[in-house]
Amino acid sequence: MAPNQKFWASATLEPKRAHRWLLSLGPSALPDYICKRVDKPSFSVGQSEHMFFGHSFYYPGTVKWQPITVTVVDPIQPDVATGLYQILKNMGYDTPDNREAIANEQNSLGTVSKARATEVFGDTIYLKQFSPINGVDELVEEWSIHNPWIKDVKFGGLDYGSEAIVDITLTIVYDFAKVDRGPGAKFF
């Protein structure tokens, strides 16, 4: 029997599970435990085409990291919706009716800067994935997501016919990500 046919026959095999993770959002006011769902980082590689004598030849281009989506619950305490609005203000946004700040040139008319936007999470946020190895949860994969900032916030919806918890969806963009295997992970 070929080695790959014995893959699932091993009692010690444990795949990575979608429910064993922790997203650390750095110095932001958002606690880790409110995170309900997250997309892992992903990338695409651009391409350029060169036509020669009726044939197309393709060459890889630049790497582009795709935004991640994070779904969080909105508890009453801490009030995540109000906290996210404060994060927006900390990023440099101010409402146009704040005439005193505009008159004193304390802001740039609501302009968000990358420097202030990345201060919300710090330079890096971490997505850690765990797996039970020998009966103990061990770190098996860790993503470091560099220069992240919030691009979109959707504060969820309300419905008289539902008893669901209110979710808030964040879209986070970043410059690049790195993945490291934890001490419990083994290469094949």
- Average the pLDDT over 153-166 and give the result: 93
Count the alpha carbons within 13 Å of 73 in the hemisphere toward its beta carbon: 10
Does residue 144 sit within a domain? yes
pLDDT digits 0-9 by tens, 118-129 = 888 889 999 999
Q: Is residue 83 part of a domain?
A: yes
Q: Tell me: the pLDDT tens digits for 5-44?
A: 666 677 667 778 888 899 998 887 788 888 999 999 999 9
Q: Is 114 within the bounds of a domain?
A: no
pTM passes above 0.85: no
Q: Domain count of the chain? A: 1
Give domain status of residue 10, yes or no: no
Structural domain that includes position 36: 25-41+57-89+122-181
In a domain, 102, yes or no: no
User: Is 108 among the domain residues?
Assistant: no
Q: Which domain CATH number covers 81? A: 2.30.110.20
- Do 178 and 141 contact (CB within 8 A), yes or no? no
For residue 173, being part of any structural domain is answered with: yes
Query: Which candidate, 112, 108, 121, 106, places its Cα nearest to that of 91?
Result: 112
Element holding 125 (H helix, E strand)? strand 124-133
42 closest CA partner among 173, 186, 188 = 173
Percent of the chain with pLDDT over 90: 47
In a domain, 35, yes or no: yes
